[in-house]
Structure formats: structure tokens, C-alpha cells
Amino acid sequence: MASTSAAPARSQPYPDLHGTTVGFIGLGDIGLPMVANLLRAQAQVWVNDLRQPALARAQELGARPGSLRELADHCPVICVAVINERQMRDVVLGAQGLLEHMRAGQTLIVHSTVPPRAARELADAVRARGVQVLDAPMSGANIAARAGTLSFLVGGEATVLQACRPLLDAMGTHVFHLGAVGNGQVGKLVNGLIFHVGHVVILEALRLAHAHGVAEEDIVELVKASTGNCWTIEHWGYFDRFFDEHTLVGRDELIEGLLRKDIADALIAAHDVKSWLPMSGLAMELYPQLVYERQARRRAAAESAREGG
């Protein structure tokens, strides 16, 4: 297996968030490192997650676990980094959700990747209660989350972004303001299409190489030095670790809930504006089969290496 590149080191200093209190909901593969960086910047962080091990790890880092009500009571700004639209709606708009407890003047930052329409509908609901909102999905994967070098793709009012900028600067090194709420999601989905559809093409290309007896490691190294290079090739091995180490259980859940999800959300966004994404639709269909095939080759190679050893 080719070596995996690390994220570029963080070059800018952390902002001083001493005296700042922030809530954070969703302590997954990216959310927990984001919390760690807020703590490095000296923020006081209240956290919420359904998984006790994730809460325990955040508490070890210095965060304070709390209920949704406690986060709303203590935190002027609350970040939401749950997996999908359903979870976002449940956390914010559900019975005893955040909105039941938030008050005018507070700010909600949605880091989850959801269809733009869902972000705009959520914004309308929370603004009716006097709560400000940014949609700020991130790019860079858990590699950049750990390094504090995420890119944030932001939709919302410029004054709200300016007020929240120190928090984003603690977790990332690039902030792109794309306009109104929902536009951050558009930026994330466009970037995600390039990323995931590109991954599908790479898997298909490696299938061809395997069929002709050319080693995957050789292909990866030659592409790194050639015109086909991209983030996925530069960080080859990322998806292997993703399957081996992710906190969710089961490869089917990972593929459906995290890999194909961004393509599915982009297809919803395209339908909403009567756009057309034929290659994305095809990639959505091919993704599971190509992932399963490569995982099978990987297992077979590992078994062969054990027998040979």
C-alpha cells in the first residue's frame, strides 16, 4: 500500500478564545477533532452526542458534556455537526430540540452537509425565534480536522460570519463566504461531487489495472507524478482507514450514510432547480460495487501475504 500523506501543517496561530463559550453537537470522525481545536484555542466547550464513548473522549480533552437544554442555556453559539438532514432536523426542530430552548440573539452554525433547501428551511424556522444562523459545512476530511486546517464553505449574513469568524479560524484555515444561507451547502455539494465521483473513477481505473495484472501501488505512485493526480491519490489509504477505524458499524452503513450521501444530497439539490447530473447519478449506482470489489482485493492480498509469511 502506498504511503498516506498528512494534511498540511497549520501555519497560522490559533485565535485566543479564552472567555468564549460554545456548544458542539456531533462528536464523530470530524466533529471531535474540531472540538479539540476549539479547546486548544482556550474556548470553553459544551458537547452533546448520543454515544457515551464519544462524550467520554471529549470530556478527557476538556469539554463539558450537557443536554441540549444545557447547551442552549450556556452557549451563545452552538455548532451542529451531525451526519444528515434527518438528524439535523431532530436535533434542532424536534420535540425538546435546540429551538425549544434557544433564545433571541443566539447563533446556530450548521456544519452538517444537507440539501440547500433543508438549510434554508431550517434558517427560516430559527430566525422566527430570533436566532441567527450560518450554514458552514467543511471540507478536508478528518485529516484536516485533526490538523486544524479545514475549509469552511459558508452561507449567511456577513455580520454573523464576522462575529463567528474566530471560532471557524480555530478549526480551519480557509473560510469561503458564498452568499446567503444554503449557498454554503451548494459549495460543499459541488466540491463533494468532484471528490466522490472522482473516487469512483479511481476505483474503476484500479479495476482495469488489476485485470491487466498491474499493481495498485505502482498505479498510485505513477499517478501522483502525472496528470491524473488529485487529493484522493495524494492521500491514498484514507478510505482504507475510513473503513477500518470509523466509529459507525458496518461497511454498508458507511457507504450509504457517508460516501453516497453527499452525491444523493447533490442529486436532490439538482432536482430542486431542475438541473441534470447524469455522471453523478451513475457514480451513485456504481459506488457500492466498486468499493466492495476493492475491499475484497485488499482482503485477498492481506490473506496471501499472511500465507506467504
Strands 44-48 and 64-65: parallel
Whole-angstrom CA distances from 220 to 226, 256, 305 are: 10, 26, 20
Q: Among all residues, which ones are annotated catalytic?
A: 188
Q: Confirm if 70 and 86 have CB atoms less than 8 A apart.
A: no
Helix (H, G, I), strand (E, B) or coil at 309: coil
- Cell (9 digits) for 179: 452568499
Q: Confirm if 21 and 75 have CB atoms less than 8 A apart.
A: yes
Cβ of 32: how many Cβ atoms within 10 Å? 24
Run of H or E residues at 249: none
Cβ of 41: how many Cβ atoms within 10 Å? 21
Whole-angstrom CA distances from 297 to 29, 83, 211, 214, 245 are: 26, 29, 11, 13, 19
* Nearest-angstrom CA–CA distance, 156 and 183: 8
Strands (E) across 122-191 are located at 132-135, 138-139, 150-154, 172-177
Q: Confirm if 125 and 133 have CB atoms less than 8 A apart.
A: no
How open is the CA angle 126-131-135, to the nearest 5 degrees? 70
Query: In this structure, which amino acid lies at residue 281?
Result: G
Helical spans, DSSP H, in 12-115: 31-40, 52-61, 68-74, 85-93
Beta bridge partners of 133: 108
